[in-house]
Amino acid sequence: MPEAAPIAKADAVQALGATLHLAGRSVDECVAAAKERASDAGMQFIHPFDDPDVISGQGGVGLELLSQVPDLARVVVPVGGGGLISGIAVAVRSQRPEVEVIGIQAEACAPFVASIQAGQPVAVDSVRTIADGIAVKRPGELTLKLIERWVKELVVVSEDQVAEAMVFLMERSKLVVEGAGAVGVAALLAGKLSGPVDGTTVLVLSGGNVGAGLLAEVARRHETQAGRRLVLRVRIPDLPGSLAALLGMISSTGANLLDVQHLREGLDLHIQETAVQLVLETRGPEHAAAVRSAIEEGGYVEATEIL
């Protein structure tokens, strides 16, 4: 696994009895390290995605979809190295050529579009994405050809869209899905899929290996963007009772105080002033705006950093 692999994923693998080796910063560097290890030890190397047998096995997902979804019209699949979507696409479209198979990549690491245009695998530089499970910098030789033939379209989604999809799945569907598994939902929510199809669209959620810390960070970011979490820096007189008066006024707006912190350095403050950073829970954008207005009408001024 890459050195920055989620702790939850690494721990789960070890708990199942596997010996874990951390190698490099990307899946590509791990593949190179695994090949070297196999050569040195006389072992058989099995590629994680660019292998006919691996692809055939992943095609079992497509066969299950054909048997369980009679009106299957479209399958949306996360794309890393391309093994999963290749197997699904061949299995499904060999029997039902009219079914659309759409691949989704994280914008921060999306080499397939350029590779298809070039007619050969083209590597990308960046692999920094919360969709780490599909952060493959260079497509496989075999998967590139299969995707070019069997997949209708490739779509990319941003980091913010992936994060929103993870929260949506957690809040609405009660599903914990890692970034790599949530890219299909991200594309759907962002309106990046083509118009309605005559039948059922299936989104493949391929993985739940996400650490609690990252999940909390994603949820916290979502709360802020949705206007349900408000962070303010306010200047107040450095006198007894000043903070209590500010908090009393905020309480009257119905906002819930999550955290308060005194800030005395790095801000443009009078010698007899202090600043407080408030983290507030609000009911949405309108309530957050009302809280801001109440603070300003109360004569409080935002604290600014010293440049």
Side-chain-side CA neighbours of 32 within 13 Å: the count stands at 11
Whether the pLDDT of residue 126 is over 80: the answer is: no
Nearest by Cα to 140 from 54, 219, 218, 75: 54
Nearest-angstrom CA–CA distance, 156 and 192? 8
Whether the pLDDT of residue 227 is over 90: the answer is: no
Nearest-angstrom CA–CA distance, 135 and 147? 17
Mean pLDDT of 80-96: 97
Q: Which residues of the chain form CATH 3.40.50.1100?
A: 52-221
What are the start-end ranges of the H helices in 42-158? Answer: 52-68, 83-95, 112-118, 141-150
Mean pLDDT of 27-55: 93
Q: Could you say which architecture CATH assigns to the domain 227-302? A: 2-Layer Sandwich (3.30)
The pLDDT value recorded for residue 307 is 56
Mean pLDDT of 269-298: 92
Q: Which residues of the chain form CATH 3.30.70.260?
A: 227-302
Mean pLDDT of the chain: 92
Is beta strand 229-237 parallel, antiparallel or unpaired with respect to 153-157? Answer: unpaired
Nearest-angstrom CA–CA distance, 171 and 120? 41
Whether the pLDDT of residue 51 is over 80: the answer is: yes
CA distance readout (Å), 248 to 244, 252, 258, 302: 6, 6, 14, 18
**3-state SS class at 260:** strand
The pLDDT value recorded for residue 40 is 94
In three state form, how does the secondary structure of 154-190 look? EEEECHHHHHHHHHHHHHHCCCCCCHHHHHHHHHHHC
The pLDDT value recorded for residue 115 is 94
Mean pLDDT of 190-195: 91
The per-residue pLDDT for range 3-28, each reduced to its tens digit, is 888 888 889 899 999 999 998 888 88
Side-chain-side CA neighbours of 214 within 13 Å: the count stands at 21
Mean pLDDT of 284-296: 92
Domain 52-221 bears CATH identifier 3.40.50.1100? yes
Task: Report the Cα 150 to chain-centroid distance in Å.
Answer: 26
The per-residue pLDDT for range 156-180, each reduced to its tens digit, is 999 999 999 999 999 999 999 999 9
